[in-house]
Structure 1
Amino acid sequence: MPRKQLKILGFKEFLLSLGSGVSEYFLEERHVIYNQGDLADSVFYVSGGQIKLVAFSISGKEAIIGISNAGQFFGEGCLIAGHSRRASDAVAIGPATILRIEKALVIRLLREDDIFSGSFLAHLLARSKRIEEDLIDQLFNSSEKRLARTLLLLANFDTDDDLTAVIPRLSQASLAQMVGASRPRVSQFLNKFRDLGFIEYDGEIRVHRSLGKILQKD
């Protein structure tokens, strides 16, 4: 396959053009892609929608540890030696489209395709930066700022010109898990953001880019 093909086609089309080793799935809301502890034998690419990664403690306590948006990979932990089992559940937040790429194919692409390996490395670096920012957010920011940042990340504005985006349906309990706050506290801040005109909240949440002003507060 010509090395320029990834740049020409884009990730989804490039991966589908590989044929064997890549499968496309159209998921309904809350569809479970894999469970914590399942055999880890593939990497996934989100071509539409959003996927949440949920981990459970031995006592059964649940925590949302990440969100994968369209254009991002998840499940890449299987590429690490000794990581043969999934570390979390992966669940579709709403309707979603994903590509499942067999582990062996990903490893071959990383070895043989410079463009793919460079793009995949950029994804891993972005994921690492996100995890670092999440940690800083938890350590130093108020629950109000953490909620604002979470909503902006979920909004995943397609372009810099977009002023409003609808986020997938998430319960206040799920948002509270992601933010590390109580559900009543999250409800209080959602009402405050709505009153300030930063979001529209009536079943679904429409996030305005202006919500970023909350992050600029001292």
Structure 2
Amino acid sequence: MSSLPKSTRKQKGGVSFDPQQFLATVGVARTITQCPKDYKIFSQGDPAESVFYIQQGRVKLKVKSKQDKEAVIAILGAGDFLGEACLIGQTVCLATATAIAPSCILRIEKNEMLRVLHEERTFSDFFIPYVLSRNVRAQEDLVDQLFNSSEQRLARTLLLLANYGKEGTPETVVPEIN
């Protein structure tokens, strides 16, 4: 994830908005929780009322079907958001989020997050591309599952793992399978 931009625009009272400061500190409708390994941040079916930001650590998102089948849908790390679907009217959490390493998680109440997105362009300019890139990744994963052979899916997964945590522009790589 790229570093957050700093605003040069002054707010009322002469103080500029700093997205890094906003995501690093406790404040109005924001709390920080130190989560030990295996701590449930939220569970599937809980009310969706907040956005969470991973300051440190790693979080696993998993879903459970009515037939008790479980699937891990994402492993997220520092700099990632989760629970952002509440911003578009999602009323319940569709997944369970669990810390898989000791983690520091910022919880931002929905109304505060909406306020900041509307009033602070520097934050919106950071958050919107983040959400869109997650959406693109989900679409790529779906296409991969629907149309690629198991060998191609394995090759793609290995390439993604090789680039895990690396910043920069993604490279298009099409592996050849014999």
How do 1:2-151 residues align onto structure 2 when only pairs under 5 Å count?
2-3=15-16, 5-6=18-19, 10=20, 13-17=21-25, 19-81=27-89, 83-150=90-157
* Change beyond 3 A, Cα 1:144–1:98: farther
Per-residue deviation, residues 70-109 of structure 1 (Å, max 9, x unmatched) = 111110111122x211111111122222111111110100
1:216 match: secondary structure? coil
Give a deviation string over 1:129-152, Cα, whole Å, max 9, x none: 110111122123333443454455
Shift of 1:23: 1.2
- Quote the offset at 1:3 in angstroms: 4.2
CA RMSD in angstroms, aligned pairs only: 2.4
Instruction: Give 5+ residue unaligned stretches, structure 1.
Output: 161-212
Tell me: CA distance 1:121–1:159, structure 2 relative to 1, closer, same or farther (3 Å). closer
- The 1:98–1:152 alpha-carbon spacing in structure 2 relative to 1, beyond 3 Å, is farther
Letter of the 2:48 counterpart? A
Normalised by the length of structure 1, the TM-score is: 0.64
- Give the alignment of 1:112-191 within 5 angstroms: 112-150=119-157, 153=160, 156-158=164-166
**Percent identity at matched positions?**
43
1:141-187 CA distance string (max 9 Å, x none): 33344345445545623457xxxxxxxxxxxxxxxxxxxxxxxxxxx
- 1:26 counterpart SS class: strand
Distance 1:159 1:66, change over 3 A: closer
Label 1:151 to 1:38 Cα distance change in 2 as closer, same or farther (>3 A).
farther
Instruction: State the Cα distance separating 1:15 from its structure 2 match.
Output: 2.5
Alignment correspondent of 2:8:
none
Q: CA deviation at 1:19?
A: 1.3
Higher relative contact order (CA 8 A, sep 6+): 2
Which residues of structure 2 form unaligned runs of 5+? 1-10
SS at match of 1:20: coil
For the residue of structure 1 that corresponds to 2:63, the secondary structure is strand
